[in-house]
Amino acid sequence: MKPVVAGLFVLVLASSTFGQGSSNAVRWNLRINETRGPIRTADTSPLSGQAASSEILGGPTNGSDNAYLIYTRMPAGARGPALFTLPVEHYYVVLSGRMTVQIGTDTFVAGPMTGVVIPADTPHAVWNAATGPETHLEVIAPAPSRDVLSMLKPAQPRKVENAAKCIRTITVTPAKDLKPGLNGAPFTNRDLGSPNQVRLDSTLPGSGGPATHVHRFEQVYFMVEGATTILYGADRFKASKNDIVILNPGVVHTNVNDSGMPERHLTLLLPQNADGGPADIEFEMKGAAGARGAAPPAPTR
């Protein structure tokens, strides 16, 4: 059972009046998803008008301490914020349609399951130049401020060396080639120069993640296709397409695909562990807690 949605509220500073009269303001139509609990569903209701809509599914004020997790929809002709920079990395994953992205002075077109990695302090902007709608997930990480708009700085075009390397195709393994387990396909991680890992995980029916475990970092799933069951502490939740799952550090969890079809989800490690220790620390789930000092239960086979 999913948590009850408490509603979507417009971020006051991001309203259409933000920055009026100031040439140093960056406008962005942002809303905050006020759902409580580890799972919240992106708003996919029809858009009114031709403006882009961005929804903060998780951030320092609503569930994620380490990133802004933003679901953006752009009708044909819509644009995101004008050319700007951020002091941290900015990731995009195109979910449907085609997104045009300007990086410095270069322009690229990214189709479905294309990732974009924008390094810190790099001028960039995105828009929809196609004739159909476009949707994408974007991640700003880390999140050093509770006011995301204060992090955006207006920018002028300048040449960015090797800008094409910011555009990365995400491998989508065909269902017939999937094996038991997660079938992870990263498009950015520490080996590729990012402190965070973003990858696409795909599972077969009856398969899923490792045994119940914990992380020392925040982990996030965004459901792309199908459904999976999330074990989160003592609870179980069903996560389906367009759901985001925020797994805080130290929470016992795993996931299993108990549906009848393959499922795919984006997995984020925020940040990817760099201490040389294991990413997954196995944690055995047992029965009711006994009294302190009581004899341990008898071993079982």
Q: What is the pLDDT of residue 298?
A: 59
The whole-number pLDDT of residue 280 equals 86
Do the domains 175-282 and 8-169 match in fold?
yes
Instruction: Tell me how far apart the alpha carbons of residues 199 and 221 are, in angstroms, rounded to a whole number.
Output: 10
**Within a 13 Å sphere around the CA of 202, how many CA atoms are in the beta-carbon half?**
17
Dist. CA 240–CA 255, nearest whole Å: 12
The domain limits of the chain are 8-169, 175-282
Q: Does domain 8-169 have CATH number 1.10.238.10?
A: no
CA dist., res. 104 & res. 118, Å (int):
10
Of the candidates 278, 170, 285, the one whose C-alpha atom is nearest the C-alpha of residue 217 is 278
pLDDT in tens, the chain (301 residues): 444 444 433 343 333 333 333 456 789 999 999 999 999 999 999 998 899 999 999 999 999 999 999 999 999 999 999 999 999 999 999 999 999 999 999 999 999 999 999 999 999 999 999 999 999 999 999 999 999 999 999 999 999 999 999 999 999 999 999 999 999 999 999 999 999 999 999 999 999 999 999 999 999 999 999 999 999 999 999 999 999 999 999 999 999 999 999 999 999 999 998 777 788 888 988 878 777 655 555 555 4
SS3 149: helix
Sign of CA dihedral 76, 94, 96, 8: negative
Question: Yes or no: is domain 175-282 CATH 2.60.120.10?
Answer: yes
Record the pTM.
Answer: 0.88
